[in-house]
Structures are given as C-alpha cells and as structure tokens.
C-alpha cells in the first residue's frame, strides 16, 4: 500500500497542496483543557500564543473554545461564540494571513467563524453526530471538513468503549460519513481516527499500529495524539511530561503516512517532520529504506 499521496484543499479560494506533512498548532480558548499550559484566555496570552505558533512554523492554527476532554462540562453555544469572537479577532490582528481551523461540533458556530472571520477549515470531533445540521452547513460554506471518529459524546465516551474490531469499525464509520458528505457536495474531507475519543488505551495503540490502513479511504489523514492519555497513562506520568511520548508517536504516524499532525508543541513537531522527511527523501547509498 502506498503510504504517501499528495492532496489539495480549497481554502476560501486559495489552494493548499498537501505535498508534505503539515503541522497544526493548537490554540485553546478554554479554562478547562486537559493540558493546563495550553489554556489561553487574556488578550495578552492569546496574542502571545498566536505569535508563538506562527514563529515556530505552524501551517494551520486550530482554535477551540469548548473543551472535548472526557467528562468536560458542556459550554452553551453563546459562550462558545463569545470566546471564539474574542480569540479570532486577536488572531487576525496578529496573523491576518494564517490558515485557521475551528474546533467545534456546532453548525451555527462553524458558520459564524467562516462568515465573520474567514476560518478555512471546520474540525468536528463528533462527525456531525452532535448537530445534525453540520454536514449541510459545511456543504453550504464550501470549506474543508475534518471528520473525526468518536464513540459516544465527551460526557460518555470513556465510560466503557467497546469494539469487536476497532480498526474495521472506525474505518467503516468514517467511510459511511465520507459518503454522506460527498453526496451533499463537500469536496474536501480530512479523516481523523479520533485517538482518545471513545477508545481505551489498547484501542488507541491498535489504531496507531494499523494507521496505514486508513489510506484506503483516499483522503488526507490527520493524527492528534499530542500529550494525550494514551501516552501519560501508559508511562504513568501526566500531560505536562508527555512531550517525548508525543514526539515518538508523531514519528510513527509520519512513517505511516500522516498528512497533518495536530499538536500543542509546534517547534518539536516541526523538527520531527524535518527529520522524517530527510529519511524519506534523501538519496542514501542503496536507496532509502523508508517510503512515505
């Protein structure tokens, strides 16, 4: 199976070519994200974080205002919109040309971010299952859509996730939703297996071990494992100590053909990408053993 294929995405009339792995940097506007150091709320904190993401080489900035950690308290739509308007206004002042995605499962929030602030990508952890208007809204907005697999909701997803075959079931679910999106006219779909979203530690590592099978869906592949519990629970640490494990798994994901890595630590991820690209493109004597 070929582990690397280039794709293109239409970003509000601007063509983005995915001919190399991209780094998506996280901007959290929440007071309760699982990784405390990623929480940014004051104007100064948000502006500094945006400047840092740009300086460290983020290709995309992913902005979220509603925590999706297991057991997270639900945020009213109005509050999510208020947080995003505050953050996106500052982001556009600091980095007006940045490619921005918004992390939301609500159709009205997605529309507001695209129409008022020129957001280019919708990142929905729920695959449209928490707002049945999402697919139609994305089709109307004509923006790329990140389709993430999640079993349950943030309130319930880690209670007792069960699968007979996690890889096959996640693939089947993503394929069915991709079909619906394409039939509605959504041209650019990015797939995300949803590490940590309704999966046990074993499920997560089974997905990573067979990540290359997701290329069967013929779509760009996003991996988001940054500082997640599949790292710190295995190593008996915490999110603050999970950067090394994140880099290891990002390397594995790149070797299996990931197109986009969603991370808290852009500099470390950018270095990881450059090293893996060197391994995969350098003309070593006898040829490179790595092909992505």
**Per the residue annotation, which of 49, 106, 199, 228 is the catalytic one?**
228
227 among known catalytic residues:
no
62-71, 176-185, 201-210, 237-246: range with lowest mean pLDDT = 62-71
Q: Give the model's pLDDT for residue 42.
A: 82
Q: pLDDT of 65-91, one tens digit each?
A: 887 766 666 789 999 999 999 999 999
Q: Give the model's pLDDT for residue 176.
A: 97
Q: Give the model's pLDDT for residue 240.
A: 92
**Per the residue annotation, which of 49, 106, 262, 270 is the catalytic one?**
262
Cα–Cα distance between 192 and 223 in angstroms, integer?
Answer: 6
Q: Residue 32: which pLDDT band, with cuts at 50, 70 and 90?
A: low
Q: Residue 270: which pLDDT band, with cuts at 50, 70 and 90?
A: very high
Q: Give the model's pLDDT for residue 287.
A: 55
Cβ-based burial of 211 (10 A; exposed 0-12, middle 13-18, buried ≥19):
buried
Mean pLDDT of the chain: 90
Mean pLDDT of 136-165: 85
Cα–Cα distance between 32 and 12 in angstroms, integer?
Answer: 31
Q: Is the pLDDT of residue 291 over 70?
A: no
Domain ranges of the chain: 7-281
**What is the percent of the chain with per-residue pLDDT over 70, rounded to a whole number?**
87
Q: pLDDT of 156-169, one tens digit each?
A: 656 677 899 999 99
Q: Give the model's pLDDT for residue 237.
A: 97
Domain 7-281 has CATH 3.10.450.50: no
How many CB atoms lie under 10 A from the CB of residue 60? 21
Q: Is the pLDDT of residue 269 over 90?
A: yes
39 among known catalytic residues:
no
| Non-local CB neighbours of 71 within 8 Å, separated by 6+ positions | 154, 155, 158
Q: Give the model's pLDDT for residue 173.
A: 96
């Amino acid at each position: 199976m070929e582990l690397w294929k280039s794709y293109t995405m239409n970003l509000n009339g601007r063509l983005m070519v995915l001919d190399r792995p991209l780094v998506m940097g996280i901007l959290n506007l929440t007071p309760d994200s699982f990784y405390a150091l990623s929480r940014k709320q004051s104007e100064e904190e948000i502006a500094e974080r945006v400047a840092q993401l740009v300086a460290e080489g983020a290709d995309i900035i992913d902005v979220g205002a509603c925590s999706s950690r297991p057991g997270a308290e639900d945020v009213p739509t109005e509050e999510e919109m208020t947080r995003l308007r505050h953050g996106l206004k500052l982001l556009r002042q600091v980095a007006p040309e940045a490619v921005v995605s918004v992390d939301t499962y609500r159709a009205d929030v997605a529309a507001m971010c695209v129409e008022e602030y020129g957001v280019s990508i919708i990142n929905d952890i729920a695959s449209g299952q928490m707002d049945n208007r999402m697919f139609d809204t994305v089709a109307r907005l004509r923006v790329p859509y990140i389709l993430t697999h999640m079993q349950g909701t943030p309130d319930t997803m880690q209670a007792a996730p069960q699968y007979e075959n996690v890889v096959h079931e996640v693939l089947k679910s993503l394929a069915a939703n991709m079909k619906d999106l394409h039939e509605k006219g959504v041209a650019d779909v990015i797939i995300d297996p949803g590490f940590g979203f309704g999966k046990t530690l074993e499920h997560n590592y089974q997905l990573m071990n067979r990540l290359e099978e997701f290329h069967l869906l013929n779509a760009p592949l996003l991996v988001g494992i940054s500082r997640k519990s599949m790292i710190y629970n295995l190593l008996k640490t915490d999110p603050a100590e999970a950067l090394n494990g994140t880099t290891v798994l990002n390397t594995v994901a790149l070797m299996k053909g990931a197109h986009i890595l969603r991370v808290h630590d852009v500099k470390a991820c950018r270095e990881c990408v450059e090293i893996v690209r060197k391994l995969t493109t350098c003309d070593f004597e006898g040829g490179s053993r790595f092909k992505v």
